[in-house]
Amino acid sequence: MFKNLTERFSKIFNKLSNQGKLTEKNIKETLREVEQALLEADVALSVVQNFTSSISKSCIGKSIEKSFTPGQELIKIVKQELIEILGKENNHLNLSTQNPSVIMIVGLQGHGKTTSIVKLGKMLKNTKNKKILLVSTDIYRPAAIKQLEVLSKKAKIDFYPSNIDQKPIQIVTKALEFAALKLYDILLIDTAGRLHTDKYMIDEVTNIQKKIQPIETLLVIDAMVGQDAINIVNNFNTNMSITGFIITKTDSDTRAGIALSMRFITKKPIKFISHGESLNEFEIFHPNRIVNRILGMGDMLSLIENIKNKINKENIKKFTHTIKSQNKFSYNDLLVQIQQIKKIGNVTKILNKLPKTGTIFKNIQYNINEQLLFKMETIIHSMTIEERKKPELIKGLRKRRIAKGSGISIQEINSLLKQFNNIKMMVNTIKKGGISKMMKGINKIVNNKSLRK
């Protein structure tokens, strides 16, 4: 979401770092470039003007700490101002109410409400250990209720059935009674998508809010709508009480200005961001972490949380046991590890959360092909159970059969077999505690040319 803005900021601050000190002249020149970058990122003009004015006041006449360069000093000030715009801290959901806590999701059609409500339900179930019930009041869009039911089942969350013959008020009233009777912690209500100019539909969702008094009403906004998001937000916020926002499609090639504008203009917090189709790709909005991403400082905390939430602890225990014991490392073990890596997310998303400065990041090869893991997995799935357990059996005729079954050339299969032997050597190295040797082995595997074609 912030890729373009991050790249622009990086160039701006690198240019400043070559100068000896902060002066009124180079501050003004830098701020003009920062202003241009923000406007091109679709940040509202009023926000940009307030932002650059605050930075200018903080910079002019400021002495630089001895350990800082001019670029680093300005980045520190910019970071503080960005955090002010986005909000100093994350605003968690208000769940301090008698169960069931009711959360209502509203927004325009096509902005990702239904997927977002299921992602939110799954997050609350997994991280807060809450008993969740989902219900849809969308009696207008064909198959909308069925869509929520299917996604709920996929996320293993309970779904309260409704139908197009009912009125939305009746649906939420009965769902709330059922949730209270069955001792649910949270009732999540998915409302019908509506145009912010459609008075009838706005009145409908307003009446639902008055009837059930939700503890939270979250407005879903597509990150790709640009500055029109402010009009959407203002119209909803004028007619009903919005407590926060969910920004969707943040994995798109969007200009990101919506995130920097909404919080400042409305004074309402962004609570969650959604990215990707997977139900796991949903995270709490932490302003300080987002600012770190924008400024190229990485987001290690979110990356660590992401890994902790998605990695199967039981599989890690088994893998650790395999390493420590005298058991042979097999293709079954490799397959488990590939699947764990895929759960975390693709390599590009992981790299985007790493700091963009320093020797470690500079040494990372950006030409890693995401198809590498797919090829490895496909080849392993084309093996027999016996071949997976005993890699030494894979020769001649077996290789040709695997190549035919996987649609991958014998040359690439030979390469995988070679890399598998490297991994086995790494496992032995881990047993002996040679971490530096292990890292060199990983580098060879990642940069293997025959599997990156």
261: number of Cβ within 10 Å: 25
Per-residue pLDDT at 357: 44
Residue 193, marked binder: yes
pLDDT of residue 453: 45
CB atoms within 10 A of CB 390: 13
Question: What pLDDT was estimated at residue 444?
Answer: 53
Contact 315, 348 (CB under 8 A): no
Q: How far apart are CA 332 and CA 341, in angstroms?
A: 15
- The whole-number average pLDDT for the span 29-37 is 87
> What pLDDT sits at residue 154?
94
- Residue of higher predicted confidence among 407 and 180: 180
| Strand duo 101-107 + 216-222: pairing | parallel
Would the annotation count 250 as a binding residue? yes
Q: What's the DSSP call for residue 166? A: S
Would you give the distance in Å from CA 319 to the centre of its chain?
Answer: 27
Beta carbons of 133 and 158 less than 8 angstroms apart = yes
User: Is 113 part of any known ligand binding site?
Assistant: yes
The pLDDT confidence band at residue 116, using thresholds 50, 70 and 90, is very high
Tokens describing residue 83: 């955090």
> CA-based angle 180:99:194, to the nearest 5?
80
* Tokens coding 319: 């893998």
User: Is residue 194 marked as binding?
Assistant: yes
Q: What is the mean pLDDT of the chain?
A: 77
Residue 220's beta-bridge partner residues?
107, 246
Per-residue b/e over 85-98, b at no fewer than 16 CB within 10 Å?
bbbeebbebeeeee
- pLDDT band at 74, cuts 50/70/90? confident
Is 210 annotated in some ligand binding site?
no
pLDDT for residue 434 is more than 50? no
Q: What is the pLDDT of residues 189-220, one digit of tens each?
A: 999 886 656 778 888 889 999 999 999 999 99
Domains in the chain, CATH or no CATH each: 3-86 (1.20.120.140), 101-295 (3.40.50.300), 306-451 (1.10.260.30)
What pLDDT is attached to residue 366?
Answer: 41
Dmax (CA) of the chain: 76
Angle of CA points 151, 155, 161, to nearest 5°: 50
Over the stretch 12-24, which tens digit does the pLDDT of each residue have? Answer: 877 776 666 777 7
Q: What is the pLDDT of residue 323?
A: 47
pTM of the model: 0.66
Q: Considering only 165-174, 254-263, 294-303, which range has the smallest mean pLDDT?
A: 294-303
441 in a known ligand binding site: no
Q: How confident is the model at residue 235 (pLDDT cuts 50, 70, 90)?
A: confident
Task: Tell me if 434 is assigned to a ligand binding site.
Answer: no
Return d(Cα 49, Cα 71) in angstroms, integer: 21
Across the range 284-311, mean pLDDT stands at 63
Is 198 assigned to a binding site? no
Instruction: DSSP for 249-302, please give it.
Output: -TTSS---HHHHHHHHHH---EEEEE-SSSTT-EEE--HHHHHHHHTT---HHH
H/E element holding 412?
A: helix 410-432
Q: Is 248 annotated as a binding residue?
A: yes
15 is in an annotated binding site: no
H/E element holding 177? helix 168-181
Work out the average pLDDT over 259-284: 85
The yes-or-no verdict on residue 49 having pLDDT over 80 is yes
Residue 232 CA to residue 195 CA, distance in Å, equals 9
Distance CA 119, CA 280 (A): 7
- Residues in the chain, how many? 453
pLDDT at residue 452 in the model: 45
Which of the four pLDDT bands, split at 50, 70 and 90, describes residue 46? confident
Ligand-binding annotation for 114, yes or no, is yes
Would you say residue 368 has pLDDT above 70? no
249 is in an annotated binding site: yes
Q: How confident is the model at residue 356 (pLDDT cuts 50, 70, 90)?
A: very low
- The answer to whether 93 is annotated as binding is no
The residue-averaged pLDDT of 219-237 equals 83
Token code pair at residue 153: 């089942």
Could you report how far apart the first and last alpha carbons of the chain are, in Å? 28
Q: Is 320 annotated as a binding residue?
A: no
Contact 4, 41 (CB under 8 A): yes
pLDDT of 83 above 90:
no
Other CB atoms within 10 Å distance of the CB of residue 375:
20
190 is in an annotated binding site: yes
How confident is residue 100, by pLDDT bands cut at 50, 70 and 90?
very high
Q: What is the C-alpha separation between 446 and 203, in angstroms, rounded?
A: 56
